[in-house]
Amino acid sequence: MAVGWFYLSVLALCSLGSMCILFTIYWMRYWHGGFAWDGSILMFNWHPVLMVTGMVVLYSAASLVYRLPQSWVGPRLPWKSSHAAMHLLAFLLTVLGLHAVFEFHNHAKIRNLYSLHSWLGITTVFLFACQWFLGFSVFLLPWASMWLRSLLKPIHVFFGASILSLAIASVISGINEKLFFSLKNGTKSYSNLPSEAVFANCAGMLVVVFGLLVLYILLASSWKRPEPGMQAEREALLHGGE
């Protein structure tokens, strides 16, 4: 597939990812009072913003580093380092997002990890931590043999896409749970589709579309780093071929 289509997809992803973050920020500011870091409900509002930013958008950007045509040629170490650093930043934002919700729950004396959303989310974060540690220790550090890397690479790729899928599912279930908690009085029930419900549902659909496009690019064989035998063909494509 032509390089131009790849960059068009990247432009669409950047737009969709930015919209996912901005929609979440606007939702929390306009309907839920904004943000604070004091254990109140305003601290909770950081949770969806940080999780969407870290676990979905930045995680996806880190995963797509190896799909950039520039990564097809030259040494792999700079790309591996960028991949690992971006994932680490995504993980740190995710940890902050978890801290925000746990701190709010503890302050309000609400039990932690009781809902399906929380179980799915904490499982996703745990797998993300394991995935990052495996990738750093096996693929970035120089001790691992090529045999071991070849053995673990398909597993690493599978869990990379699986974690993104789980993150999207966690976000959607979280949006749904937040709406059910917020819209439970008679005049603004979720089933009546007040403006907040419409807006948050749209934000959720943006996350789904964004995630599907990322997964498509990750799975498209024509956008993967070529094997050594295909290198010359991809170099020609990178320098202007169709």
Model confidence over 108-141: pLDDT tens digits? 999 999 999 999 999 999 999 999 999 999 999 9
pLDDT, the chain, mean: 90
Residue 151's Cβ-side half-sphere holds a number of Cα atoms within 13 Å equal to 7
More reliable by pLDDT, 76 or 39:
39
> By mean pLDDT, which of 45-49, 164-168, 185-189 is the weakest?
185-189
Q: What is the predicted pLDDT for the residue at 242?
A: 46
Reading the block at residue 150, the tokens are 């070849």
Residue 236: pLDDT over 60: no
> What SS3 class is residue 21?
helix
- Regarding predicted confidence, which is higher, 23 or 68? 23
Among 8-17, 18-27, 41-50, the range scoring the smallest mean pLDDT is 8-17
Using N-to-C axis directions, what is the helix angle for 116-134 and 146-182, rounded to 10°? 160
Residue ranges in 33-115 assigned as alpha helix (H): 41-44, 46-51, 59-63, 77-108
What share of the chain in percent tops pLDDT 90?
Answer: 74
- Considering just the CA atoms, what is the radius of gyration of the chain in Å? 20
- pLDDT reading at 229 higher than 70: no
